[in-house]
Chains A and B, each alone.
Chain A
Amino acid sequence: MFIINCPYCGERDQSEFTAGGEAHIERPKQPTELSDDEWAEFLFMRKNIKGVQFERWNHAHGCRKWFNVVRDTTNDKIHAVYKMGEKPSID
Chain B
Amino acid sequence: MDHRPQAWGRPRDDVYGAYDASYLHTNGPKTATQSPIVTGTSVIALKFKDGVVMAADNLASYGSLARFTDVKRLRPFLSTSVVGFGGDVSDMQFLDRHLTELAIDEAYEHDNTSSSSETPATAGQLNAANLHKYLSKLMYRRRNSFDPLWNQILVAGFDSSSTPFLASVDLRGTTFTSPSLASGFGAMLAQPIMRRHAATEEDAAKLTRDEAVAIVRECMKVLFYRDARSLDKYSIAVVTRDGVELSEEEQLEKQSWAFAERIRGYGTQTV
Question: Does B associate with A?
Answer: no
Residues in A lying within 8 Å of B, measured CB to CB: none
